[in-house]
A and B are shown apart, each in its own frame.
Chain A
Amino acid sequence: MPELLSVKNLKIEATSYPPGEPPKVVTLVEGVSFDLQKGKVLGLIGESGAGKSTIGLSALAYGRGGCRIIGGEVLLNGRDILKLDRSGINTVRGAQVCYVAQSAAAAFNPAHKLGDQVIEASLRHGLMSRDEAKQRALYLFRVLGLPNPETFGDRYPHQVSGGQLQRAMTAMALCPNPELIVFDEPTTALDVTTQIDVLAAIKHAIEETHTAALYITHDLAVVAQISDDIMVLRHGKTVEYGTTKQVIEAPKEDYTRALVSVRQAKRDEAADQSGALLKIEHVHAGYANGFKVLHDVSMHLPKGQTLAIVGESGSGKSTLARVITGLLPPSEGRITFDGKELPKALKGRTNDELRRIQMIYQMADTAMNPRQTVRDIIGRPLSFYFGMHGARKTERVKELLDQIEMGPRFLDRYPAELSGGQKQRVAIARALAARPELILCDEPTSALDPLVAEGILNLLLRLQEETAVSYVFITHDIAIVRAIADSVAVMHRGRLVRFGPKSKVLSPPFDDYTDLLLKSVPEMEIGWLEKVLRTRRMESAGN
């Protein structure tokens, strides 16, 4: 069978402009080759910076923001599209090869109606008449399960939800009947319950239209549902390339094996969950403009244990953390810490009360002052809470660095000189420096690559064993909950849906929302998506 797309020995460079230094040339992709046949799907998987988007865009002979394709061939139906001139490549783009971006919200032009943008490429390339294009758009809106497909195209991008926009972008890519679509993390920006719908819609649509696809993602479980082949990338080079079955079930390389087996460390929950270091009772909270975010939330956390708060964006889980810290005083309800009611607002709390509750953020980048060294960052709580100075302080900072598995050589580094994982470790050390009894962790691993995240989780577990610190762990990732929690609170639209010991919350009988949430989390298993969809169809048939 002839190859639709054949990429040979691709090499891509970019120029970076580090401040105060002459520009530097960086190699983003080196020696990557793959083949894709008609109607097949190839998954490109890797961490951020692995070069996967850059490779995907090379199928359209496009270099984003200063990227230059400097070597190799990209053969589309046997023709090297890298050798085409601007007007030649324009007959390929939007006609033979289309692109679906990660953020459809930014990729749609705010000034035009969705329908006009969806059919634009088909019309401009003279592939169909306006009526035909409209018919096809309508058909695609139906296939993709968009609401009111007849009038959907009359709306403006800002008038529809993020999940719908992502499907509209898929319709826009499918409209001209292309031979190949490049999906660039199309579901990454979506909530997990929305992701499954969009994923199913994309899968259905490309099967229905026999379109080949390059599917780019960092989530191996997602790509396992949709692709025929998988290529694992790291630092712009191929790690492993094979069929989906082989890569998922019998990975050859260590790196792939680690990706597949990530987060399998499980911890049994504590048997006794009766005490309460932190007790949240009937808390209501909202913002000054009257918008209410939390409604009657109650939960508690025993000493030395971990409470995971799960929910999608907008569920109020981060707001709850702000309420606990006192940044957002609750309008009703009370929070008790170690048997004493905490003053509602930050200003009313004593330094000792503040010391006992510390926080770790999602983005370690913004959580640390870029103009302070590791020594200053970790040292400040020491001098602030305990009045430590000079050699004693340095000694303690070194101890803390040891505790987070980083040596004293990091003492005088700035955050910019650390990797993502190292930054998060320093943030943990800063929290530990205060000798807290409770650490609020706001998605501390979701911005990290899976292997690094695993290391952070293990560190947190070890520290809990050593210091008996309690965690409130805010996350949207059920796998993490399974791995580290003792008790779990599920939140949805500002309300507590379910709360209790992990074993109870994560086993049936479920309420509707928890059921949906749990079923939406992709599992590292081929055919999982079909299974979920089948159950759903059966359930809706049964009703």
Chain B
Amino acid sequence: MMESGPMTGPVLTDGTAGEPPRSADLSGVPAKPNPTGEIGGTFWRRFVFRRPLAALILQRLGLSVGLLFAVSLMIFGGIEALPGDFATTYLGQSATPQAVENIRKDLGLDRPWSERYLNWLGGAVKGDFGTSWASKNSVSEQIGKRLGNSLFLAFFAALISVPLAVGLGMLAVQFRNRMPDKIINVISLAAISLPEFFIGYLLIMFFAVQWGVATFPATVYDSMSFTERLSAIALPVATLVLVVLAHMMRMTRAAILNVMSSAYVETAELKGLGTFRIIARHAAPNAVAPVINVIALNLAYLVVGVVVVEVVFVYPGMGQYMVDAVTVRDMPVVQACGLIFAAFYIFLNMAADILAILANPRLRHPR
């Protein structure tokens, strides 16, 4: 159940995976239409030629901003296009036409959707997501606190899972096709098949209910001290770690194996170098890019993984806020949360791309 990033596909390959550009036309540089249009063409081309690295990074940044804009359009406009009337939903099926009319006016649904979209987007850019239909409170205010809580959770999950995954991945490579590798393989295969909520409730059942060493539900509030917060999020963090670890480890293993089976590692072996030197000097610099890529992709997944985990642990974060809003069809909240989650996802995928570009010696040292 991996969510791979939107930009890891064909776009990435023209810079990192393919053979190095050997011909004079520098075909490794984006063959995409340049964003500045015809007039800027020669300038952009020259820039691409002289600073391919900067050009690629600029391109990824531009692409992400464009993507985010398109996503906002889809989250807002796409919903408009779907059947179902908000006002009717809001009031229930038995509402009188007059009441529906009033509520439409109240919520501003009588204005054309393009106008409402521009309003919404303008506000969103400034951090104002309007008013919740359900609670009549400012959405931004509500989100502010909860976003912090969610990030707190995701941060600690990342802090634990990243080193653990990379370490286990390297261990699996070291013992490739032997017992430790096979055990890690079977366990991780099982782990990626477990739904988040199952892991969550298993942990609650044992750690909180039977042995009483952890707290449930994982409520946090303002007056809590840092250590109290940490102990409150222990179980949710553990759940997230288990969810994301197997994927990250399997992908890390594959990335390192790919490098270890390359011809230049064989060359190093035939130079009579020691194992440590081969790994540190010849394999590691080339494995960094794919491993960083793996990590960033999994962090993107982590951001989404918090939704279910927050519901399981009744943790006051963005995910739970969004799910609650969806059940009562509180659209401003749903749209705001959707946009923020998508923004994080896009940003992390972009970071993965850019880090991979930066770690590629062929792009760092152009001809």
Contact = CB atoms under 8 A, between A and B. Distances in A.
Instruction: Please say whether the chains A and B touch (CB closer than 8 A).
Output: yes
Interface of A: 60, 62, 64, 87, 89-95, 98-99, 101, 103, 106-112, 120-121, 124-125, 156, 158-159, 161-162, 289, 291, 314
A93 B267 CA distance: 10
Contacts of A60: 270
Contacts of A92: 272
A112 B273 contact: no
Given A107-B263, A161-B22, A291-B23, 12 more contacts: A93-B269, A94-B270, A98-B270, A99-B267, A107-B266, A109-B268, A110-B264, A110-B286, A111-B286, A158-B362, A159-B365, A314-B23
Contacts of A109: 264, 267-268, 282, 285-286
A440 B122 CA distance: 62
Contacts of B268: 109
A124 B277 contact: yes
7 contacts: A60-B270, A62-B269, A94-B271, A158-B367, A159-B365, A161-B22, A291-B25
Interface-central residue, A103, A111, A125, by most chain B CB under 10 Å: A111
A95 B273 CA distance: 10
Interface of B: 20, 22-23, 25, 27, 31, 262-264, 266-274, 277, 281-282, 285-286, 361-362, 365, 367
Given A106-B262, A107-B266, A158-B367, A121 B271 contact: yes
A112 B365 CA distance: 11
B361 A289 contact: no
Nearest to B288: A111
Contacts of A124: 271-273, 277
Contacts of B262: 106
A319 B268 CA distance: 38
Contact of A89 (B263, B272, B282, B367): B272
B274 A90 contact: yes
A87 B272 CA distance: 8
Nearest to B277: A124
B175 to A, nearest CB: 17
A111 B272 contact: no
Contacts of A103: 263
A437 B22 CA distance: 38
A11 B44 CA distance: 60
Nearest to B363: A158
Nearest to B264: A109
A106 B263 contact: yes
Contacts of A94: 270-273
B362 A110 contact: yes
A394 to B, nearest CB: 44
Contacts of A98: 270-271
B283 to A, nearest CB: 9
Contacts of A87: 274
B274 A108 contact: no
A101 B20 contact: no
Which residue, B31, B267, B272, B285, has most C-beta atoms of chain A within 10 A? B272
B272 A158 contact: no
A127 to B, nearest CB: 11
A64 B367 contact: no
A422 B274 CA distance: 46
Interface core residue of A92, A158, A159, A314 (most chain B CB under 10 Å): A158
A98 to B, nearest CB: 8
A530 B28 CA distance: 40
Contacts of B269: 62, 93
A120 B271 contact: yes
Contacts of A101: 263, 266-267
B266 A156 contact: no
Given A93-B271, A106-B262, A289 B27 contact: yes
Contacts of A120: 271, 273
A64 B365 contact: no
Contacts of B282: 109, 111
Given A109-B264, A111-B285, A112-B285, A125 B362 contact: no
B365 A156 contact: yes
Contacts of B31: 289
Contacts of A162: 22
Chain A CB within 10 Å — which of B264, B267, B286 has the most?
B267
A44 B362 CA distance: 35
B290 to A, nearest CB: 13
B151 to A, nearest CB: 34
A159 B367 contact: yes
A439 to B, nearest CB: 30
A121 B270 CA distance: 9
Contacts of B263: 101, 103, 106-107
A219 B22 CA distance: 27
Nearest to A292: B25
Contact of A289 (B22, B25, B270): B25
Contacts of A121: 271-273
A291 B262 CA distance: 32
A440 to B, nearest CB: 25
A93 B269 CA distance: 8
B14 to A, nearest CB: 11
Contacts of B281: 112
A141 to B, nearest CB: 18
Contact of B270 (A99, A106, A110, A112): A99
A232 to B, nearest CB: 26
